[in-house]
């Protein structure tokens, strides 16, 4: 919904996984963001984002070094296919802990949902099964997490508000 925001870590090397899903049905891939692991969504309403929040996001990023992110296992659930990204669990947990009043995914998956890269969302059981089969054939994939991004959903789609390099001291 426009007016919300998210903290994400992009993993461009995982684009092949989204390509697999789009080959089955382009509607299975969420438009507007490159392959990413969500650290916290929804984050804060866009009208509550301030320079202080930007500074807190930068401070969080400094607590974590850039890291390799192996994607070796798939996670499937009703309406969902993802690649597990346990290497980013400490970062996603820290984001949830830093903003405890912001319930990830509205609280549907608990206070610390497993870190993952969504490959396909929605579609039929058969489509998701095909995506899972094709995605399994290209695993393992290794990405590199280097930056925490704060993005805002507008009427025009997701817009970048700031990028905070991991492990780099805040300025």
Tens digits of residue pLDDT in 107-126: 888 899 999 999 999 999 99
Tokens representing 116?
């993952």
Tens digits of residue pLDDT in 28-46: 998 888 999 999 999 999 9
Domain boundaries defined on the chain: 5-165
Q: Which CATH class is domain 5-165?
A: alpha beta
Considering the entire predicted model, what is its pTM? 0.94
Tens digits of residue pLDDT in 129-145: 999 999 999 999 999 99
Beta strand pairing status for 141-145 and 67-71? antiparallel
Going by the DSSP 8-state scheme, the letter that residue 113 receives in this structure is P
Per-residue confidence at 72, pLDDT binned at 50, 70, 90?
Answer: very high
- The full DSSP string for 22-74 is HHH-GGGS-TTS-SEEEEESS---GGG--HHHHHHHHHHHHTS--EEEEE--E
Per-residue confidence at 1, pLDDT binned at 50, 70, 90?
Answer: confident
Q: Is the pLDDT of residue 170 over 80?
A: no
| 4 phi, psi to nearest 5 deg | -100, 170
The whole-number pLDDT of residue 32 equals 86
Q: Are 17 and 35 in contact (CB under 8 A)?
A: yes
Average pLDDT over residues 12-26: 97
């Amino acid at each position: 919904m426009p007016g919300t925001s998210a903290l994400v870590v992009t993993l461009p090397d995982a684009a092949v996984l989204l390509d697999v899903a789009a080959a089955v049905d382009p509607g299975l891939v969420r438009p507007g963001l490159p392959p990413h692991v969500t650290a916290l969504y929804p984050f804060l309403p866009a009208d509550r984002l301030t320079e202080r929040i930007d500074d807190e996001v930068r401070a969080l990023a400094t607590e974590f070094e850039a890291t390799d992110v192996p994607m070796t296992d798939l996670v499937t659930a009703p309406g969902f296919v993802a690649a597990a990204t346990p290497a980013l669990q400490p970062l996603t947990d820290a984001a949830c802990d830093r903003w405890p009043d912001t319930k990830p995914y509205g609280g549907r998956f608990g206070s610390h949902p497993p870190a993952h890269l969504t490959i396909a969302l929605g579609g039929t059981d058969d489509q998701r099964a095909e995506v899972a089969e094709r995605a399994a054939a290209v695993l393992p994939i290794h990405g590199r997490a280097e930056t925490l991004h704060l993005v805002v959903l507008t009427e025009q789609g997701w817009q970048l508000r700031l990028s905070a390099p991991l492990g780099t001291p805040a300025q």
